[in-house]
């Protein structure tokens, strides 16, 4: 018999795929933003089914609460009725992007296929603030610091570009 958690996980997965497809296939930017919002909310639901309550809350606060709102503000500044026309005469760029997408999907599928960790066993503290902090600051300290330095350089670059344009 299928558990309710499995049904909820599968339904949120289908909703996430539908939201992602709506985001990339929509011609109007506002509809694409709504598709992104649907995708983000369904990902938060998937995190809830995996007992990662902190990640679900962060997903809703950061992405649905900040990023999508920022996208909607930008769309409103540009104009919600602006449409993106079809790309014509760019066969080489389309072919290259399709080839890169296939290569990335195959790399991820191969990595997942050879993953040997036990899938059914989840630690008791999975998804908690303490487990996330231990994973970031103890097991992945170097990547965390590299990302923080990269973000610092990006902020300094943005300030330098903004200052050079003002009188």
Kindly report the CATH number assigned to the domain that includes residue 14.
Answer: 1.20.120.1200
- 44: pLDDT strictly greater than 60: yes
Mean pLDDT over 66-75 rounds to 82
Residue from 117, 101, 99, 121 nearest 109 by CA: 101
Phi-psi label, residue 51: left if phi above 0, alpha if psi -120 to 50, beta otherwise:
left
In a domain, 160, yes or no: yes
- 123: pLDDT strictly greater than 70: no
d(CA 56, CA 48): 6
CB within 8 A of 156, min separation 6: which ones?
Answer: none
Mean of pLDDT over the chain: 81
**Interval 1-38: pLDDT, tens:** 788 888 899 999 999 999 999 999 988 888 988 999 99
**Phi, psi of 86, deg, nearest 5:** -70, 145
Total count of domains within the chain: 2
Token readout for 141 is: 């300290």
71 shares a domain with 14: yes
Identify the sign of the CA torsion 37, 40, 42, 45: negative
10 shares a domain with 65: yes
What pLDDT is attached to residue 40? 94
Please identify, among 28, 63, 83, the residue that sits at the C-terminal boundary of a domain.
83
Please identify, among 83, 106, 138, the residue that sits at the C-terminal boundary of a domain.
83
In a domain, 154, yes or no: yes
Please identify, among 36, 61, 83, the residue that sits at the C-terminal boundary of a domain.
83
- 145: pLDDT strictly greater than 60: yes
- Domain span including residue 139: 122-167
pLDDT band at 165 (very low <50, low <70, confident <90, very high): low
Residue from 19, 25, 74 nearest 41 by CA: 19
**What does pTM read for this prediction?**
0.58
66 shares a domain with 7: yes
In a domain, 92, yes or no: no
């Amino acid at each position: 018999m299928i558990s309710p958690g499995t049904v909820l996980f599968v339904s949120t997965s289908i909703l996430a795929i539908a939201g992602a497809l709506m985001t990339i296939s929509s011609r109007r930017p506002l509809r694409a933003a709504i598709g992104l919002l649907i995708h983000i909310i369904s990902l938060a639901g998937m995190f809830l089914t995996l007992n990662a309550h902190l990640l679900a809350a962060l997903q809703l606060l950061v992405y649905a609460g900040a990023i999508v709102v920022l996208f909607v503000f930008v769309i409103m500044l540009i104009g919600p009725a602006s449409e993106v026309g079809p790309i014509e005469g760019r066969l080489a760029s389309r072919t290259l992007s399709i080839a890169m997408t296939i290569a990335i999907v195959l790399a991820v599928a191969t990595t997942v296929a050879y993953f040997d960790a036990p899938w059914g066993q989840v630690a008791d503290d999975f998804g908690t603030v303490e487990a996330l902090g231990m994973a970031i600051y103890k097991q992945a300290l170097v990547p965390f610091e590299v990302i923080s330095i990269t973000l610092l350089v990006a902020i300094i670059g943005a300030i330098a570009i903004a200052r050079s344009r003002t009188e």
